[in-house]
Amino acid sequence: MWVRERTLAVGILPNALPVTRLGLRVKRGIAGAVARNRAKRIFREAYRRDKERLAPGWDIVAVLTKASGLSVESLEREWILACTKLKILAATQSS
């Protein structure tokens, strides 16, 4: 199952493991290796901030399609929106 956002496409498949794994791809259309590597760093930071919220047992592929005007906060919003649409966020427990 795939979900597309403005700068991000996310696909998921269930796995039989107690962990969630992430694969990241940046489209070659993002000009220059420096821009692609920057986009990867920004996405990894957004993922790092929210990885505890993901339910275990998924293989996730994230494809970054655009890098212009990319910030950690904007990409994190898109990431959480995509995860919400895919229903892979773990249920949060209230204290």
pLDDT of residue 95: 42
Please determine, for residue 83, whether its predicted confidence score (pLDDT) is greater than 60: yes
Please determine, for residue 90, whether its predicted confidence score (pLDDT) is greater than 50: yes
Query: Cα separation of 41 and 89, whole Å?
Result: 22
Contact indicator for 10, 58 with CB cutoff of 8 Å: no
- Tell me the mean pLDDT in the region 60-83: 88
Give the mean pLDDT of the chain: 88
Please determine, for residue 93, whether its predicted confidence score (pLDDT) is greater than 80: no
Its sign, for the CA torsion 23, 24, 28, 29, is positive
DSSP alpha helices (H): ranges in the chain? Answer: 33-50, 72-86
- pTM to 2 decimal places: 0.84
